[in-house]
Amino acid sequence: MMLQDTLTRSAESTPDAALLLSGGETSTYGSVEAASNQMARLLIDLGVQRGERVVLLIPNSLRYVISYYAALKSGAIVVPLHFMSDARTVRAVLEDCAASVVIAAPGAIARIPAAAEVPSLKAVVAPDEDVPSFAAAGPLRAVAESAASSFSTELPVQRRGIDIDRALIIYTSGSTARPRGATLSHLNVVANTRSILSYLQLARKDRVLVVLPFSYVYGASLLHTHVAAGGSLSLADGMLFPNAIVDALERDEATGLSGVPSTYAILLNRSELAARPLPALRYVTIAGGALPAVHLRKLAGIAAAPKIYVMYGATEASARLSYLEPADLDRKMGSIGRAIPNVELTVRREDGTEASVGESGEIVARGSNIMAGYWRDPSGTAEVLDEHGFHTGDMAWRDDEGFFWIVGRKRDFVKAGAFKVSPVEIEETLLESGVVEEAAVIGRRDEYLGEAIVAYVTLRSGAVATVDDLRRHCQERLAPHKLPAEILVIHSMPRSPSGKIDKQHLRTLQER
């Protein structure tokens, strides 16, 4: 099965069922299928060939969903970019993937470079109102997206390939390293989608409230799974007003909510999520980092009482590698669970041998969802893929029941003197103070220790605490070599486009 087939099959089965709720409008499977066929024909008319790259510079919207499936139907490889990516990032990605076409949303057109700067670029498909200004700026062909309406909607566009053909290039966030394009095949994504459908038991009746960008692999998996199940997606307006998220859960009768740790930290501390009944809410999923136990326990006690799925994954794995069953949450608090169906996880020492139960090492994954490599980056690919599988960069240990426990990111460990210190324990200790909303621990260069431990924290609304209070809290709970040399209270955490705390930005602040 090709990724675009999931849309076509659901549209053929339930053409009048809701696929997308956005801005007060409901779009059906039949209407999205028809519109994506038209856009696919427009892309082919623009000269897009099988395997060429089509970049999406569009926020979560009906326009995004139509363009996404249209590009797949044209035989292209889709390259999703966060809508707010700056001009330098846009140019770097267009050059790196040798893009053929960019489909842009209003407001994004100014960040697209001229044709001479990206020779591979054939055209830009833009909102009608943006075409005149872009066309006047240079020789690159600018096409109004309304031009797609002149093409037929009756038959699906089929430039058939096979499932090992590339479907997506998703660029990593770059929060800890240079962004690289993880190349995912149709097989990678469809296999991962099937596994997620299996353990979440998603069906047509399910509706997820989407707060994550579709350009992020976790957000993309929400689109993939719900389209495959014939379910629906409700698009939130972002996290600026947390109670609006709770209102949307209630209004749209969402059965699911998915977020990164900061999503739940904000909702639990700044909204009515804990008190609102939300009778339709069946489950929540958490991935993109560890949600501290203090927040997990609070989430488990909210009035809605949904099933809580703690998940773990990577862009290079098409999203998901492991999950913790809700039934195991209490007895395995802090674990990322066990491998999802059709994935094998091992913990390996630096020499590649498998670690024993209880011994820390790097998580290595095998499965049909694992990428073939990074786009045009053989050296980067060789760093993470070998005969054992995909080296995640996450350090963990496995218990005697096969549950995995993350110790920290390999590159995030702070080398303080003779010790390698994991930030996770320090961050969770700070959160247990009851006054800290979020914590991020990094290392900074130190003349004597090599690296000194620095903790950045934000305080909960209305909380009052001094740095000395936090330092005393840590001294009562942590070994001396794990104590932060500095605790900095800041107003808000810097974030990557996916909503994760951007530790690389914090490191940059320390270097200034």
- HEC letters along 249-310: HHHCCCCEEEECHHHHHHHHHHCCCCCCCCCCCCEEEECCCCCCHHHHHHHHCCCCCCEEEE
- Give 7's contacts (C-beta < 8 A, 6+ positions apart): 29, 32, 33, 36, 69, 227
Of 209, 378, 368, nearest in space to 282 by CA: 209
The bridge status of strand 256-259 relative to strand 283-286 is: parallel
Q: Which DSSP letter does residue 23 get?
A: T
Interior angle at CA 306, CA 256 and CA 255, nearest 5: 25
CA distance 233 to 251: 13
User: Which residue(s) pair with 308 in the sheet?
Assistant: 284
pLDDT score recorded for residue 176: 41
SS3 state of residue 124: strand
Tell me which amino acid residue 275 is. A
Helix (H), strand (E) counts: the chain: 14, 27
* CA gap 330, 301 in Å, rounded: 12
Enumerate residue ranges in the chain where pLDDT < 50: 174-177
What single DSSP character describes residue 184?
E
- DSSP class of residue 337 equals B
Residue ranges and CATH numbers for the domains of the chain are: 5-15+28-161 (3.40.50.12780), 186-409 (3.40.50.12780), 413-511 (3.30.300.30)
Note the pLDDT of residue 164: 97
Give me 507's structure tokens. Answer: 């490191």
Are 13 and 39 in contact, with CB atoms under 8 Å apart? Answer: no
Look up the pTM and report it: 0.87
R_g (Cα) of the chain, nearest Å: 23
- Which DSSP string do the residues of 125-176 spell out, in sequence order? EE-GGGHHHHHHH-SSEEEEGGGGGGS--SS-------TTSEEEEEE---SS
> What is the pLDDT at residue 173?
60
One DSSP character per residue, 347-412 reads: EE-TTSPBPPTT--EEEEEEETTS-SEETT-HHHHHHHEETTEEEEEEEEEE-TTS-EEEEEEGGG
